[in-house]
Amino acid sequence: MKQFYKKQPIIGVIGSGLESAYENKAYKMGKFIAKSGCILLTGGGDGIMKAASKGAFEEGGLVIGILPSDGPDDLRYSKRYPNEYVHIPIYTGMSDARNSINIKSSSIIVAFPGGGTLSEIGLAVKNKKPIVVIGWESFGMDDYGRGSRVYHAEDVDVAKEIVERLLSELEG
């Protein structure tokens, strides 16, 4: 079958939905993802998710939000999900169980501290997805299991270099 389009890699950015000191870094990562021609996937909420979404949105990138709610009228989440920068909201009705969708749908994961991030990192390790961890200097896990690909980055510039290398591996 003839392929009519080039598949764009999806980069998942995970982190707290609450206000975070890492929002500026997430914003820069979102801009970088869009400039790289990749699709950004987040949980679609506030905090890290919103900051990354805003960065990608402002660069003209495509933003997908995997949402915890049943739909736009779900009162439990309607004030926080989706954030205004999400182009494609996917309503799952799965609450935190949607983390599995976030991981399985992403080619590369960029993780910031907070929220349900640890469960998503665990899912990424289990699914052998490359993970770039930013801002978790004391993450404390040196052995993530056979075949895991967890990379630590002390700042966004280092994270960008790692993501670029991982993207070139995807293409190659």
d(CA 131, CA 151) in angstroms, rounded, equals 6
**Is 54's pLDDT higher than 90?**
yes
Average pLDDT in the chain: 90
163 — pLDDT class (breaks 50, 70, 90): very high
> Which H, E and C letters describe 67-127, residue by residue?
ECCCCCCCCCCCCCCCCCCCCEEEECCCHHHHHHHHHHHCCEEEECCCCCHHHHHHHHHHC
Domains of the chain with CATH codes: 25-137+145-171 (3.40.50.450)
d(CA 148, CA 161) in angstroms, rounded, equals 19
Question: Between residues 150 and 41, which one has the greater pLDDT?
Answer: 41
User: How many CA atoms, within 13 angstroms, populate the side-chain half-sphere of residue 43?
Assistant: 30
- pTM recorded for the entire structure: 0.91
Of 96, 37, 25, the closest CA to residue 66 belongs to 96
Residues in the chain: 172
pLDDT of residue 171: 84
Who's near 161: CB < 8 A, 6+ residues apart?
A: none
Percent of the chain with pLDDT strictly greater than 90: 69
Of 129, 128, 122, the closest CA to residue 108 belongs to 129
Mean pLDDT confidence for 130-141: 75
Query: Distances in Å between the alpha carbon of 63 and those of 18, 41, 51, 172?
Result: 19, 6, 12, 25
